[in-house]
Copies of this chain bind each other. A is one copy, B any other.
Amino acid sequence: MAFIPHTQGDISEMLAAIGAASINELFDEIPESLRVDDLPGIPEAIGEMEITRLMQARAAQDRGALCFIGAGAYEHHVPAAVWEITTRGEYYSAYTPYQAEASQGTLQLIYEYQSMMASLTGLDVSNASLYDGASAVAEAALMAVRANRRSKSRRILVPRTLSPVYTRVTSAIAGTQGISFERVDFDVATGTTPLAALSEWEGEDITALVIPQPGFLGCLEDVDALTDWAHAHGALVIAVVNPLSLALLRPPGEWGQAGADIACGEGQPLGVPLSSGGPYFGFMTTRMAHVRQMPGRIVGRTEDLDGKPGFTLTLQAREQHIRRSKATSNICTNQGLMVTAATIYMSLLGAEGLARVAAASHANTRQLADALCTVPGVDRAFATPCFHETVLKLDRPVAPVLKGLAEHDILGGFDLSADYPELGHAMLVCATETKTAEDIASYGRALSTVLKQLKVA
């Protein structure tokens, strides 16, 4: 019996102590009519050796491509130390630190994480994580509605430069509570949200404005102007940021005159592997004034009976296990292990290391765009400054080109034509610090081969 330690002797003694004749008898409260005795769809057990071989074969099937897709998930170098420590049993096999005294390691780590995220975003307080970047935006929207007591409209402005999938997730999660998410258009010439696009809401009661930085199209927004416009209209500002970019870019807490009110986003770039899309983690920080409206766990530093410092979960009265139907969110299990990894990652890299990773990604993406734009039929979509993603325009539909590249084991980018038809044959490309000059050159070669072949065909 894999993973079950009971000997025959144990079983007999235990049944005797219970006063039951068999294990099956323990299920006698289940109505006979409902009992099943087999699980036909489940295969026979296999051992660790067999499953290892199986999984190695499956993994091998998906290996070996050079990846230039970003679009919300970024390939970065993850130091070996990060996961060797994160998967230590004491982190990996523990759960929510309900017994603070027996979980000081986890709690102190979260406190350190909160400190790092607060500083990175320029805000006061961070929670201990949400599910992912997309759902964090939904939580931020719900939080903004609670936090902005002066606004009654429950209207939240969402620019088209926010990741389209984030927009969809936000509506799916937060869309049933009478909030109206209103789309703000972007400038096809710059790939950003112009102030003019907000004129439609001039003078209205707006609860919050979402500002992505960078936008999904890679371009950097004029966050100061947008922030100030929002505040002038009594709206809170929800910054949606790539945390790695904040090693270089002005943090949300310093946007405009007063700074953003809530910052959130996807934490994956901070030491979390691509891993088919998850587990990642959503982060969220805010000003102290709004802390009681934050969803998620928060760890605080306090003292023990002897006056010694220690860490504990705090402000739990916001949460579902205390406040139930009136909680700030239903979140319970979060993405703690990813926070462990991110905290170790940030500690290893520090501000300077993070800035170097960010700058290298920025420079590589520029070089990639330069290299690809030498291929006939390929052009930059925007001249706007960008962080580490940019949009290229092709002279023909993107999908077959990407397919052709995949045959060369190059995953060439993200096809924008469904979400942004007004951009034409556009694709989003990304080259992080993991890409070498030779990688970029091979992409260039493959692209020109593919474009030539497609022409012929």
A85 to chain B: closest residue by CB: B89
Q: Which residues of B contact A48 (CB under 8 A)?
A: 77, 79-80
A77 to B51, CA, bound (A): 11
A308 interface residue per 8 A CB criterion: no
Q: Find out whether the CB atom of A433 lies under 8 angstroms from the CB atom of B49.
A: yes
Greatest chain B CB density within 10 A among A49, A77, A79, A433 is at A49
Min CB–CB distance A250 → chain B (angstroms): 27
A47 to B88, CA, bound (A): 24
Interface size range of chain A in the complex: 10 to 19
A85 to B93, CA, bound (A): 13
A257 interface residue per 8 A CB criterion: no
Contact among B49, B77, B88 for A434, CB-based, below 8 A: B49
Q: Which residues of B contact A84 (CB under 8 A)?
A: 87
A52 interface residue per 8 A CB criterion: yes
Min CB–CB distance A60 → chain B (angstroms): 9
A85 to B88, CA, bound (A): 8
A48 to chain B: closest residue by CB: B79
Report A146-200 residues with CB < 8 Å from chain B CB: none
A434 to chain B: closest residue by CB: B49
Q: Which residues of B contact A87 (CB under 8 A)?
A: 84
Min CB–CB distance A82 → chain B (angstroms): 11
Min CB–CB distance A452 → chain B (angstroms): 29
Q: Which residues of B contact A47 (CB under 8 A)?
A: 77
Q: Which residues of B contact A52 (CB under 8 A)?
A: 77, 80
**Apart from the given pairs A47-B77, A49-B433, A52-B77, 9 other A-B contacts in the complex at a CB distance below 8 Å:** A48-B77, A48-B79, A48-B80, A49-B77, A49-B434, A52-B80, A84-B87, A85-B89, A88-B88
Ordered by A's residue number, 12 sampled pairs between the chains whose C-beta atoms are within 8 Å are A47-B77, A48-B77, A48-B79, A48-B80, A49-B77, A49-B433, A49-B434, A52-B77, A52-B80, A84-B87, A85-B89, A88-B88
